[in-house]
Amino acid sequence: MGRLASLWRLDPAERRLLALAWILLVVAPLLLRVLPLPRLLAPRRGRQRPGLPPARVARLVEIAARRVPASRCLPVALVTARLLARQGTPATLRIGVARYAGRLTAHAWLERGGVPLLDASEADGYMPILGVAVAAASPREALQ
């Protein structure tokens, strides 16, 4: 009952964003397999919606990701970027690599103003190899 009570404590805009984030996180792995990255990051037409603070959007996506099996960093970063673009907030998708215990690992994260959203320590140790600016949707371009 505690989780359900926590859900109802969110305001309606946060509940809607949390539900949309969950849906997008479920379909994101499939979309990553069939669509090129630029297409996934391109703004969509529609009306721009007023937004929540970027850190709050990122936190709600992270919460939704906990309920999506095998949720990974790239879909989380993509969904966060799309939801921020939908409300008119630009961000940068970063992909970096690092060598841990002789193995090459990769990580994706989202930055706003050069600062990683959510836990900055997750991006520590990774050398960024790709940065893609995710444009804020114009008033006529937003995720539908």
Q: Does a structural domain hold residue 144? A: no
Number of Cβ within 10 Å of residue 25's Cβ equals 22
Q: Which domain holds residue 21?
A: 2-134
Count of structural domains within the chain: 1
Q: Does a structural domain hold residue 51? A: yes
Q: Does a structural domain hold residue 143? A: no
Q: Does a structural domain hold residue 83? A: yes
Q: How far is Cα 96 from Cα 123, in angstroms, rounded to an integer?
A: 8
Question: What is the pTM for the complete model shown?
Answer: 0.85
Q: Does a structural domain hold residue 139? A: no
Q: Does a structural domain hold residue 72? A: yes
Q: Does a structural domain hold residue 94? A: yes
What's the one-letter identity of residue 40? L
Print pLDDT tens along the chain (144 aa). 465 556 667 888 899 999 999 999 999 999 999 999 888 888 776 656 668 999 999 999 999 999 999 889 999 999 999 999 888 889 999 999 999 888 999 999 999 988 998 777 778 889 999 999 988 765 544 433
Length of the chain: 144
